[in-house]
Structure 1
Amino acid sequence: MAASRLPPSTLTLRQFLRRQQVLQLYRRILRALRDVPAEADRRHLQQWAREEFRRNKDATEEDAIRMMITQGHMQLRELQKALKLAKS
């Protein structure tokens, strides 16, 4: 008797686009963290970012996901401002 296989999960267009937004934010945060001068701080922040995204990877509530993306963008802007000030 052959094992039945479940069809691969498919995303709606909205879910696909939201996923792309999340991945873009993740990449932008990791790129920004490259500019953190202290290696220990940089590694700590990279690990924190990875853990945050992993912790929320199974979120399905559209409003919660939008809120997390908005918060992520705000945190990215704050990081970029702080790094800019540190270079001055």
Structure 2
Amino acid sequence: MAAGRLPPGALTLRQFLRRQQVLQLYRKILRAIREVPAEQDRRYLKDWAREEFKRNKDATEEDAIRMMITQGNMQLQELQRTLRLAKS
């Protein structure tokens, strides 16, 4: 293998870090969903999150991935805000 070349399927450092960021967001969303009181709502939100992440798993465009992470974080914050309001 030539110097500076990655083996097929290997991630660059940037891709690896971005992947970790996406997985961390996914775990945070699932943790927040666990706090939803109604079982049916929890199941719906969990299925929704799983489908959204699955649908976008093959995305490679850096700007698009960054935008999706930003949108995911905003949706997570909205869910957390809603849960806080429901508890108060």
TM-score with structure 1 length normalisation? 0.91
Aligned counterpart, 2:85? 85
Question: Matched residues in 2 for 1:53 and 1:81: separation?
Answer: 22
Question: Matched residues in 2 for 1:72 and 1:55: separation?
Answer: 13
How far is 1:8 from its partner? 4.8
Summarize the alignment of residues 57-76 of structure 1 with structure 2, pairs less than 5 Å apart: 57-76=57-76
TM-score with structure 2 length normalisation? 0.91
User: What are the superposed Cα offsets for residues 20-42 of structure 1, whole Å, 9 maximum, x if unpaired?
Assistant: 00000000000000000000000
Summarize the alignment of residues 2-81 of structure 1 with structure 2, pairs less than 5 Å apart: 8-81=8-81
Equivalent AA in structure 1 for residue 66 of structure 2: R
Question: Taking every aligned residue pair, what percent have the same amino acid on both sides?
Answer: 82
Runs of at least 5 residues in structure 1 that lack an aligned partner in the other structure: 1-6
- Structure 1 ranges of 4+ moved more than 2 A: none
Question: Matched residues in 1 for 2:75 and 2:66: separation?
Answer: 14
Q: For this pair of structures, how many residues does the alignment match?
A: 82
Question: Matched residues in 1 for 2:35 and 2:9: separation?
Answer: 37
Runs of at least 5 residues in structure 2 that lack an aligned partner in the other structure: 1-6
